[in-house]
Each structure stands twice: as structure tokens, then as C-alpha cells.
């Protein structure tokens, strides 16, 4: 059994497991909103009929994913600068590590998770035999947690990864401390993984080859106190309000499809004193014929104007767009028909937000690459102060706008024009410069005119 007395590795693992378990419900709720599964069905009990549940399912509209993806899709790392190669095109060794781990695509998993759940993680492992570079994996905050240095909140002092190994039906835990990792496991038990009952270490601590904890937290809206916030976390009531109003609209439409009818001025009892069964008399159907007294009056409920309901949904969506700084055209396609100035102003808020998130993400990505270079024994490139992420511009321009700007870029070098105005990646710039050099070699050399040639 694992020793959980104070100051032991078991006590650290138990502390991390309990905190991880305490956070999971919050992460699950935020994931539910990101997946568009929020709303009334979560509060409906077993007494709710299937027809009503179907309406509840139909009332869901996933605005949360739109707001999160509007930010994530503009966060695109293009390369890294290091102390060994600090030029505009970036360090090719760093980019090789990035691509060997598939992070030119999989970094989006980290960004999307950190934006939606408020946190994500990356773990830097030993050098992979297949790729020849350290293995870097994106991690879910429901399986990974770390403690950080109070003086340097981006530096992990201990971390744990706890998960269910489905293939072997085991609960597995990895505890990371500076320079070492130790593994524990037990037979899978249903429920939370925070209890240390049944866990056993599988061996002694294994050296990592680096004097740090190779787990990097990603948090794009950090707080001085408490946990970071998800991108839409403060605005969940608006999303609930939108889906609730949509549900009301569907209920009204459903009820109006079966209008209430009544008849006035008819007897309630038969001559023999028995109660008249009007459900039987007023059968509905193509061939049905009703016999009514001469003084009978028929009544039918009127239609309700749904315009106020529709407008209230639009008002809530506009509020959601404003507080999340999401261009309204993302949420309302017809809003793209507004003025160019108005669209520019709404897009400006999104750009400021993306740049802020890129600043937070950049610090974490630089830490990941620093640890990767430590694993490779490259101290020069691992120097944290020299690492820098090269980001694609979050602003997007048309070809005509770029061309016009390029003609007016007086005093800028060709490489700067290619990077800042034409928005080429470092790889595209290098390829373009190589092609221009090759074309220059193929240009015919002009024959000089003879000296003293007649004018």
C-alpha cells in the first residue's frame, strides 16, 4: 500500500488526486456547454414526457462553440525563435520537434480545451525512438493537475496524471516531481479516482533526465486568486436564457398546432339525466358530422404573435456577442450585411481578445519547447529568455488589401513585406526566397555595348 504520511510521495499524490476530483464536475459542466448539451434537459426529472424532452433537445443552439472557435481559429503558431537561431524565419530544429509531434494540427486541441474548460496541459516525455525528438502530448484537465511555485506560477513543482487504462482495466497514476516520475496502479474501481485505497507503486522513481516537472499548464484567463476562467464561463446564464426562450417558442408553436376549441349554449346532460359525452359526439375526421342546437356557439383559441419571442432571443444573442467580444456575423449570418465600419469595430474587439490569449498561450508553448530542448541536451536552445513563438497575424486581409499595402510599404525590407503584409509563413518566405534566387540564376546576362559605340 502507498504511504500517505506527511512529506511522502503518497501524500503529494493523494493531495493532487483530491483536488483533481474536486475540479472535475466544473470541467464536465463547461464541456457540456461547449458541446451544446446545456439547457433545460439537465433539470428535467423522470416525470417529463418524452414529447416534452424532444422539444427540450430541439431547443439547444450551440452559441458557446461559435464564440470559442472564433478565438481559437485565429491562434496559429508558425514557428519559434531560440538563442541558437534568432532570425525572422525561426529555428528549424524547434519546428522539426513541433511537426514531429503533430502539433501543427494538435495544438488546436490544447487551445480549444484551455478556452472552453479554462485549463489544459502538455506533458513533455523522453525522446521517442520513432521520431528522434521528445514526445509532447496534449492533456485533458480532468486527468492532469499540477501544483505551481507560489513565486513563479508558470513553474510546476508537482503534477499528476490519473486515468483509466481501458485495455488492461487498470486505474493508473503518474506522479511527477522535479527530475523524477513514479507510477502507481490498481484494479479499476468505478467512481472517483481520488481515494488511495488499493493503489500500489509499480517501482521506484524513474529519473526524467531534466531537473524540472515536465508538465506545463495552459490557462488563457488566469486569476491572481483562484482558478482561471473559461472563455464563456461567466456568461452561462445568457446561454441558458437563450435556450429557455427557444424552448418557449417551440412549446407555443406546438400548442398552436392543436388549437383549443369550445362550444357554448349546449346542454350538459341527456334527457335521462346522464352526462353528455362531447368527446364522443365531436369526433374529428374528414367524414365527421356534428349536430348542434340552433343557439350553440363555437369558439377556437387564436394565434399568438411570436415576434416578441423571436426578438428576445436576438437580444440575448446580441448580449452574448457583446460580452464575449464575438462578431455578431458569427452568430447571425445576416448581420454581415451591416456597414463596413460597424463590422470593423466588432472585429477589432475580437482581435484584441485573440492577441491577449496568444500572449498567455505563448508563455506556455515556450515552456514546452524549453523542456523539450532540455530533454535533448541542447542548453543553448533551452534558454527560456531567448525562446519566442512566431504567431500568424490574427487579422485577415483580402489579396487586394495586401497588394495595395505592399505598394505603399516604403522603407520596409522585402522579407518584412512578405511576413507582415503578405502574411506568409516562415516556410513560405524561405521557399519564395530560394525560388527568386534560382530564377535570378536563369536570367540571361545582358551583353555590354562596345566602348565608344556610336550614339
- For 413-433, the pLDDT digits (tens) are 888 888 777 778 777 888 888
pLDDT score recorded for residue 106 = 95
As a whole number, mean pLDDT of residues 59-68 equals 91
Q: Is the pLDDT of residue 234 over 80?
A: yes
For residue 237, give every residue at least 6 positions away whose Cβ sits within 8 Å of its Cβ, in sequence order, or none.
none
194, 143 contact by CB (below 8 A):
no
pLDDT score recorded for residue 134 = 97
Where residue 202 falls among pLDDT bands split at 50, 70, 90? very high
First to last CA, the chain: 102
Among 52-56, 138-142, 383-387, the least confident range: 52-56
Between the CA of residue 398 and those of 370, 402, 423, what are the distances in Å? Answer: 36, 6, 11
Among 272-276, 342-346, 386-390, 445-449, the least confident range: 342-346
As a whole number, mean pLDDT of residues 235-258 equals 87
Q: Is the pLDDT of residue 19 over 70?
A: yes
Q: Which tens digit of pLDDT belongs to each residue from 289-344?
A: 877 777 888 887 777 788 888 899 999 999 999 999 998 888 877 655 555 555 56
Q: What are phi and psi of 372, to 5 degrees?
A: -60, -45
Report how far residue 452's alpha carbon sits from residue 69's, in angstroms, rounded to the nearest whole number.
Answer: 70
Q: Which residue has the higher pLDDT, 42 or 239?
A: 239
As a whole number, mean pLDDT of residues 87-91 equals 74
Among 116-120, 146-150, 376-380, 445-449, the least confident range: 445-449
Q: Is the pLDDT of residue 37 over 70?
A: yes
Question: pTM of the full predicted structure?
Answer: 0.82
Residue 265 CB coordination number (10 Å):
11
Amino acid at each position: 500500500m502507498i504511504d500517505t504520511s506527511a512529506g511522502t510521495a503518497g501524500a503529494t499524490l493523494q493531495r493532487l488526486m483530491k483536488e483533481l476530483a474536486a475540479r472535475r464536475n466544473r470541467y464536465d459542466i463547461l464541456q457540456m456547454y461547449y458541446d451544446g448539451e446545456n439547457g433545460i434537459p439537465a433539470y428535467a426529472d423522470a416525470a417529463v414526457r418524452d414529447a416534452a424532452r424532444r422539444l427540450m433537445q430541439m431547443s439547444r443552439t450551440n452559441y458557446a462553440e461559435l464564440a470559442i472557435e472564433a478565438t481559437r481559429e485565429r491562434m496559429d503558431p508558425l514557428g519559434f525563435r531560440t538563442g541558437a537561431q534568432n532570425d525572422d524565419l525561426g529555428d528549424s530544429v524547434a519546428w522539426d520537434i513541433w511537426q514531429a509531434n503533430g502539433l501543427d494540427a494538435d495544438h488546436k486541441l490544447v487551445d480549444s480545451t484551455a478556452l472552453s474548460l479554462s485549463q489544459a496541459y502538455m506533458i513533455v516525455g523522453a525522446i521517442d525512438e520513432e521520431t528522434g525528438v521528445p514526445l509532447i502530448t496534449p492533456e485533458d484537465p480532468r486527468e492532469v493537475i499540477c501544483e505551481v511555485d507560489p513565486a513563479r506560477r508558470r513553474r510546476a513543482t508537482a503534477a499528476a496524471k490519473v486515468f483509466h487504462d481501458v485495455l488492461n482495466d487498470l486505474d493508473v497514476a503518474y506522479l511527477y516531481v522535479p527530475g523524477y516520475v513514479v507510477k502507481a496502479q490498481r484494479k479499476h474501481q468505478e467512481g472517483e479516482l481520488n481515494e488511495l485505497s488499493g493503489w500500489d507503486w509499480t517501482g521506484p522513481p524513474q529519473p526524467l533526465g531534466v531537473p524540472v516537472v515536465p508538465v506545463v499548464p495552459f490557462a488563457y484567463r488566469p486569476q491572481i486568486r483562484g482558478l482561471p476562467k473559461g472563455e464563456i464561463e461567466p456568461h452561462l446564464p445568457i446561454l441558458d436564457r437563450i435556450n429557455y426562450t427557444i424552448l418557449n417558442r417551440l412549446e407555443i408553436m406546438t400548442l398552436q398546432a392543436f388549437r383549443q376549441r369550445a362550444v357554448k349554449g349546449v346542454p350538459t346532460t341527456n334527457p335521462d339525466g346522464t352526462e353528455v359525452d362531447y368527446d364522443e359526439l365531436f369526433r374529428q375526421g374528414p367524414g365527421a358530422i356534428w349536430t348542434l342546437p340552433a343557439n350553440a356557439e363555437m369558439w377556437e383559441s387564436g394565434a399568438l404573435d411570436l415576434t416578441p419571442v423571436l426578438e428576445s432571443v436576438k437580444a440575448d444573442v446580441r448580449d452574448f456577442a457583446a460580452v464575449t467580444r464575438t462578431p455578431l456575423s458569427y452568430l447571425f449570418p445576416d448581420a454581415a450585411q451591416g456597414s463596413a465600419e460597424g463590422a470593423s469595430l466588432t472585429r477589432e474587439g475580437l482581435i484584441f481578445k485573440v492577441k491577449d490569449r496568444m500572449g498567455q498561450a505563448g508563455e506556455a508553448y515556450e515552456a514546452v519547447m524549453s523542456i523539450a530542448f532540455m530533454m535533448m541536451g541542447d542548453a543553448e536552445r533551452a534558454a527560456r529568455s531567448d525562446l519566442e513563438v512566431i504567431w500568424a497575424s490574427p487579422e485577415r486581409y483580402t489579396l487586394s488589401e495586401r497588394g495595395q499595402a505592399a505598394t505603399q510599404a516604403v522603407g520596409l525590407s522585402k522579407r518584412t513585406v512578405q511576413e507582415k503584409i503578405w502574411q506568409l509563413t516562415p516556410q513560405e518566405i524561405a521557399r519564395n526566397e530560394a525560388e527568386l534566387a534560382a530564377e535570378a540564376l536563369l536570367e540571361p546576362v545582358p551583353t555590354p555595348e562596345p566602348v565608344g559605340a556610336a550614339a
